């Protein structure tokens, strides 16, 4: 046990009570209050009884095993079997959208050092959870740093997406003429007013005008970005073919606003790409 586990090496060595008992009596009893079936599986691995170790386990069983592997620090001992368990689990498919399995998988992939899968699951959590992420954690011993990072990244991405639209509204509210496609000042004013009205009406409809504050209650980044992409912007210039030209050539959709919003949303999505496992090392 001491050779396989740093935990047992520590408590059975030095001057710990269990170590003293072991030295004086030649044996020691260590109470185990964890899941007994999972503990037996790990003991089979430690003692080389590989034929008694299942090659396939459920996510619930794998989560229990991960808790014990983390507590007793025996990853290197069980790594062959853990890779088999995870590979078999993946054959059934990992979640493509956030559900009750994502956070247990985050923990499993953190314990068993699976960086790609860890990034995939934390990406789902970043993009598809609300401010109530802790409610989903339950008793799963996920590092606070991981949960805090997911929440921070979610809030930053939502803040940035809303700010993109807010900046457009502020620009059109400033009063300076923006349209350069219409033929006269009145049409330019009408065009800018129509764009502003569309931005404000659509933003109010999807709940980002007036601008909400953190932690953006009830909002999921994925749903918000979809709603922002759905904002319909109308202008006066593109209503008649004779006014679809400005000083730079053909006038793009709504003065390029829809393309600009789409490009901004893609940039935010690219930055919300899950967590790096290496940033969350296990305590020595």
**pLDDT of the residue at 185:** 85
**pLDDT of the residue at 255:** 80
Residue 5: how many other CB atoms lie within 10 Å: 20
**pLDDT of the residue at 235:** 83
**pLDDT of the residue at 250:** 43
**pLDDT of the residue at 26:** 81
User: Residue 86: in which H helix or E strand, if any?
Assistant: helix 75-91
pTM for the model stands at 0.89
Q: How far apart are CA 178 and CA 246, in angstroms?
A: 12
**pLDDT of the residue at 132:** 96
Look over the chain and give the mean of its residue pLDDT values, rounded to a whole number: 89
Q: How far apart are CA 129 and CA 43, in angstroms?
A: 37
Q: How far apart are CA 179 and CA 192, in angstroms?
A: 6
Q: What is the pLDDT of residues 52-108, one digit of tens each?
A: 999 999 999 999 999 999 998 999 999 999 999 999 999 999 999 999 999 999 999
Q: Which two tokens stand for residue 84?
A: 């088999």
Q: How far apart are CA 132 and CA 174, in angstroms?
A: 37
**pLDDT tier, 2 (very low <50, low <70, confident <90, very high otherwise):** low
Averaged pLDDT for residues 35-52:
94
Averaged pLDDT for residues 177-187:
80
Q: Please say if the pLDDT value at position 242 is more than 70.
A: no
β-strand partners of 250:
245
Cβ proximity of 257 and 168 under 8 Å: yes
Write down the domain spans for the chain.
6-147, 155-271
Q: What is the pLDDT of residues 103-143, one digit of tens each?
A: 999 999 999 999 999 999 999 999 999 999 999 999 999 99
């Amino acid at each position: 046990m001491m050779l396989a586990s740093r935990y047992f090496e520590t408590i059975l060595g030095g001057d710990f009570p269990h170590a003293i008992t072991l030295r004086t009596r030649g044996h020691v009893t260590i109470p185990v209050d964890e899941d007994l079936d999972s503990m037996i599986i790990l003991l089979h691995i430690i003692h080389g009884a590989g034929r008694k170790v299942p090659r396939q386990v459920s996510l619930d069983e794998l989560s229990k095993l991960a808790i014990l592997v983390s507590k007793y620090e025996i990853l290197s001992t069980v790594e062959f079997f853990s890779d088999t368990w995870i590979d078999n689990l993946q054959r059934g498919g990992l979640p493509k959208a956030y559900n009750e399995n994502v956070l247990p998988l985050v923990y499993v992939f953190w314990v068993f050092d699976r960086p790609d899968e860890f990034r995939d699951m934390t990406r789902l959590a970043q993009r598809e959870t609300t401010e109530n992420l802790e409610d989903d954690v339950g008793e799963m011993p996920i590092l606070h740093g991981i949960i805090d990072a997911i929440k921070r990244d979610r809030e930053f991405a939502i803040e940035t997406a809303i700010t993109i639209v807010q900046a457009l509204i502020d620009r059109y509210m400033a009063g300076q003429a923006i349209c350069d496609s219409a033929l006269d000042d009145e049409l330019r004013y009408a065009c800018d007013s129509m764009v502003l009205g569309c931005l404000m009406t659509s933003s109010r409809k999807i709940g980002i005008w007036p601008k909400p504050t953190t932690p953006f209650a009830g909002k999921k980044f994925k749903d918000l970005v979809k709603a922002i992409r759905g904002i319909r912007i109308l202008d006066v210039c593109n209503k008649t073919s004779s006014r679809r030209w400005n000083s730079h050539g053909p006038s793009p959709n709504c003065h390029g606003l829809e393309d600009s919003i789409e490009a901004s949303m893609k940039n935010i999505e690219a930055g919300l790409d899950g967590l790096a496992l290496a940033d969350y090392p296990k305590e020595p």
